[in-house]
Amino acid sequence: MAGKIIADQIEHSTAGSLDTQYVVNGSAKAWVHFDAHGDAAVSGTPISRDSLNVSTIGDDGTGDYTVNFGSNFANGFYASSGTGDHAQYMFCVDPSINPTSSAFAMMFSYQPGAGSDIDIDNVSTIHIGELA
């Protein structure tokens, strides 16, 4: 690819230097923003607004979604975080099963382990970790 710079460190004129491994290891390797209620045209099916390194979103039921990655992580021990909203409430991403290197399944409910999950809009998740 054009414009490739190979460097182990970057240095600021006054603020010091930084190993580029911090940039490589510390940046998100996958992210997505989607709405469970789709859009005005098709409101029954979730719609992805934007993403990186995502192949599909799984709509697994009310409040249950899966993000499938294009490039696998090294294992399931990457870090994930995210939020979503419904009415006046804000929700945090809650993994529904152990993440795998290729997929992150999540659920949204008013309280962890609640019997009924709830569909969320403005779902955004980021995933940080080592890629395979």
Partner 1 sequence: MKTPDFKGTPLFDRLCWAKENLEPVQTDYCVVYEDSVDECAKVLIVDQNWLSCALQGGILPPVWVYHELAKDEATEGFTKHTRGYLLHQTEPVEAMTEEEAIEYLILKDCPRHVWETWNEGNKPKLVICTKQQLPQTREWRNSWAISEELAA
- Nearby residues of 46 by Cβ (< 8 Å), 6 or more positions away: 34, 35, 36, 37, 38, 57, 59, 65
Give CA–CA dist 66/40, Å, rounded. 23
Q: Of 16, 26, 44, 115, which one interacts with partner 1 (CB under 8 A)?
A: 44
Q: Of 20, 71, 122, 124, which one interacts with partner 1 (CB under 8 A)?
A: 71
* Element (DSSP H or E) covering residue 54: strand 54-61
Give CA–CA dist 130/25, Å, rounded. 7
Q: Of 48, 83, 122, 124, which one interacts with partner 1 (CB under 8 A)?
A: 48
Residue 70 binds to partner 1 (criterion: CB under 8 A) = yes
Three-state DSSP class for residue 109: strand
Shorter beta-carbon distance to partner 1: residue 44 or 112:
44
Residue 45 binds to partner 1 (criterion: CB under 8 A) = yes
Residue 9 binds to partner 1 (criterion: CB under 8 A) = no
Give CA–CA dist 34/76, Å, rounded. 22
Q: Of 21, 43, 79, 90, which one interacts with partner 1 (CB under 8 A)?
A: 43
Give CA–CA dist 60/34, Å, rounded. 14
81-120: contacts with partner 1 (CB under 8 A): 100-103, 119
Residue 51 binds to partner 1 (criterion: CB under 8 A) = yes
Binding site for partner 1 (CB under 8 A): 1, 29, 32, 34, 36-38, 42-48, 50-62, 68, 70-72, 74-75, 100-103, 119, 131-132
